[in-house]
Amino acid sequence: MTFNVLLPLLVVASSFVTGLLIFFLPEHKAHTRSALNMAGATLKLVLVLIMCWGVYRGEMYEFRFSIVLGFDFVLKVDLLSLLLVTLSSVLWFFTTIYAIGYLEGSPNRSRFFGFFSLCVTASVGVAMAGNLITFFIFYEFLTLSTYPLVVHRGTEESLQAGRKYLWYTMAGGAVLFVGVVWLHVLVGALDFQETGFLRAWPASLHGSFTVIFFLLIIGLGVKAALFPLHGWLPVAMVAPAPVSALLHAVAVVKAGAFGIVRVVYDVFGVEFASDLGLLTPLTIATSFTIVYGSVRALTQDDLKRRLAFSTVSQVSYIALGVSVLGLTSSIGGLVHLVHQGLMKITLFFCAGIYAESLSVKTVSGMKGIGRRMPITTAAFTIAAFGMIGVPPVAGFASKWHLGLGALESGQPWVIGILLTSTLLNAGYFLPILYAAWFQEQEKEWGHAHHAPCRYETPMLLLFPAVVTALLSLLTGMFAGAGWSPLALARAIALREYVP
C-alpha cells in the first residue's frame, strides 16, 4: 500500500489508537495521558496538513476494501471532506488542550479522554467516508462514542440527558439505515460523486428516490437538530464544556449537517434533487428551524442552554444553503460549516471558563464579568458578533452568500428568514454582552474549580478560546484570501454543479 492509500487511514488511526491506549492507562498517570493526547492531536493535525498540501498539488487519497455483502469500506479525500477534516483536526487540537485544563483533577479521566479520541475518530471518519455505507458506520460510531461523554458526570440529570440523546440518535440512525439499505438495493454501489450519481437512473425509480431522500434527511436531521428532531440538543448541554464545544462545533451536529450536504450534493446532486422537488421542503424545514431556534434562545437564562438553541438555529444555515439551488447559496452553506464551528466552539469554551473559574452558569449571573475576565469576554464578544453576522467576523461572509443565493434562486423570502434570525440573534447575544461589559457586578463570584492561577483563568482554558476567537475573526477579515474557508467552499461549490 502506498502512502496515498495509507494517509486517510493514518488520519483516522491517529486518534483511534490514541483513544485505545488511553483506555488502558491507569487513572493517576495524568502526564502520560496528556502527552498521549497532545501527541495524537498534533500527529493528526500534521497528517491533515500534509493531506491539504497534497490535494492542493493534485494528489488523490483513497483507501478502499470490500466488507460483507458487497459493501465497500472507502476513505476518500475530496475537497468537501478536506473542509471538515481540517476543521475537526484543528478544533480537536485546541479542544484537547482545553479539556486537559478543564478536567484537571476530576475522576474518570481515562474513560473520558478515551471516548473523546474515539469521538474525533468518528467525526474524521464521517468527513472522509467515500460512500454512504462508510458514512453510516462512522455516523453510528459517533453516536456510541459520544454517549459516554454526555453522561460523563454520572448525575441523574446527565443520565437522563444521555437517555434522551441515545433515543433520538438511535431512532435517527435506524431511519437512516433503512434509507441507505433501500438505496443500496436499488442502485448498488453508493460511492459519493460530485454532482451526484442518481441522475442516470430511470424515472421509474424517482418515486422511491423521493422517499429515500426524506428517510435520509430525517435520519441525518436528528443530529443536525432540525425541528422537530432537535429535542436532545438543549438537554445534552449538561455534558462537560469541552464535550459541548465539540458536539456543537465539529462532531455530532456537524456530522448531521455534513451528511445532509453529502446526500444532497454527492448522492442526489443538487440540481437533480431540485428537479425532483426535494429541496423546497428542506428549505422550509430549515427556515422554520432557524427562526424557532433563535426564538427559543431568547428566553433561556442558562448560558449553555441559550447557546444550544442558538446552535439549533445556526446549524440549519448550513442545510439552508444546501437546499437553495445556486452556486452562491451553496458557498454560503458550505462555508458556514466552518464558520459556525469556529464561532460556536469559542462560545462554549468561554461558557466553560465562566463556569469553571467563577461558577457562573446563567446569563443573569454574568453582570460585570467583563471586568473580571476581560480576555475571555473579549473572545466571547467576537464570536457572538460573528453569530449575529456583523462583519468583519466570519458569520457575515456566510450570511452574505446565503442572502445573495436566495435572491439568485428566486426565493427572496429566505432573506426574511435570515433577517429575522439576525435580529433575534442580536436579541439574545447583545443583552449578554451588555450585562458582561456594561453592568455592575451584583453578587460575589462563585468559587473556582481550579487552583489559583496567574491570569483570569488557567492558560490551558484561556489559550484555546483566544485562538478560536481569533480564527473566527481572521477567517472573516480575510475571507477573500486564497487559503480561506470561503475560497475552499467556492472551489467545492463549483464542482457540485453540472457544467
Partner 1 sequence: MSTYELILPWAWPLLVSLTMLVGGASMPAGVRHALTYTAAVPGLCAALFLAPGDQAYLPALLIGMQLDMTTTAQLFLLFTSVLWLLTSIYAVGYMKEDRHASSFFMFYHACLAGNTGLILAGDIPSFYAFFAIMTFAGYGLVVHNRDESSRRAGRIYLSMAVIGEALVLTAFLLIAFEGQSMFIREARFAIPDSPHATLIMTLVLLGFGVKAGLAGLHMWLPLAHPVAPTPASAVLSGAMIKAGLIGWLYFLPGGLGAWPDFSWLCIALGFTGAFGAVAIGWMQRDPKTILAYSSVSQMGVMLIAVGIGLSQQQAWPAITILLCVYAANHAYAKGALFLGVGVAGSVAQQPRLRVVVLSGLILAALAISGAPLTGGAIAKSTLKYTAPSAVAYGLILSSIATTLLLARFLLIIRGRMLEDKHKPHAGIFIPWLILLAFMLVSPWIVIPAFRLETIQLAPSLAGIGKAAWPVLTGILLIGLWRKQASRADKMPRIPAGDLCLFFEQAAHRIARAWMHYVAAPMEKKREELIEAVIRRIMPENEESTVMHHAELRLRDMSASGALFLLLISIMILILMMGATP
According to DSSP, the residues that pair with 337 across neighbouring strands are none
Query: Is the CB of 26 or the CB of 202 nearer to partner 1?
Result: 26
Q: Can you tell me the distance from the alpha carbon of 93 to that of 463, in angstroms, rounded to the nearest whole number?
A: 12
The residue within the footprint of partner 1, chosen from 51, 85, 90, 118 (CB under 8 A), is: 118
**Residue 202 Cα distances to 81, 206, 209, angstroms:** 29, 7, 11
The helix (H) or strand (E) run that includes residue 494 is helix 485-495
Q: What is the DSSP letter of 69?
A: G
Q: What is the DSSP string of 333-392?
A: HHHHHHHHHHHHHHHHHHHHHHHHHH---BSGGGTTHHHHSHHHHHHHHHHHHHHHT-TT
Question: Are the CB atoms for 428 and 306 separated by under 8 Å?
Answer: yes
Least Å distance between CB 407 and partner 1?
4
Query: Is the CB of 263 or the CB of 300 nearer to partner 1?
Result: 300
Stretch that binds partner 1, among 272-280, 338-346, 434-442, 449-457 (CB under 8 A): 434-442
Residue 392, all three cell numbers: 468583519
**Closest-CA residue to 205 (of 263, 272, 264, 260):** 272
Q: Can you tell me the distance from the alpha carbon of 114 to that of 480, in angstroms, rounded to the nearest whole number?
A: 39
Query: Is the CB of 224 or the CB of 402 nearer to partner 1?
Result: 402
Per CB under 8 A, does 361 bind partner 1? no
Query: Is the CB of 110 or the CB of 209 nearer to partner 1?
Result: 110
Question: Of residues 170-209, which lie at the interface with partner 1 (CB under 8 A)?
Answer: 171
Stretch that binds partner 1, among 186-194, 257-265, 403-411, 453-461 (CB under 8 A): 403-411
Per CB under 8 A, does 329 bind partner 1? no
Per CB under 8 A, does 20 bind partner 1? yes
Question: Are the CB atoms for 297 and 310 separated by under 8 Å?
Answer: yes
Per CB under 8 A, does 400 bind partner 1? yes
Q: Can you tell me the distance from the alpha carbon of 85 to that of 92, in angstroms, rounded to the nearest whole number?
A: 10
Question: Of residues 147-176, which lie at the interface with partner 1 (CB under 8 A)?
Answer: 147-148, 151, 154, 159, 162-163, 167, 171
Per CB under 8 A, does 223 bind partner 1? no
Query: Is the CB of 183 or the CB of 424 nearer to partner 1?
Result: 424
Least Å distance between CB 148 and partner 1?
6
Per CB under 8 A, does 110 bind partner 1? yes
Per CB under 8 A, does 415 bind partner 1? yes
Per CB under 8 A, does 23 bind partner 1? yes
Give the CA diameter of the chain: 69
Question: Are the CB atoms for 48 and 91 separated by under 8 Å?
Answer: no
Q: How many residues would you count in the chain? A: 499
Q: Applying CB under 8 A, which residues contact partner 1? A: 1, 16, 19-20, 23-24, 64-67, 73, 108, 110-111, 114-115, 118, 147-148, 151, 154, 159, 162-163, 167, 171, 228, 231, 295-296, 299, 374, 378, 385, 390-392, 396-397, 400, 403-404, 407-408, 415, 419, 422-423, 426, 430, 434, 438, 440, 476-482, 484, 486
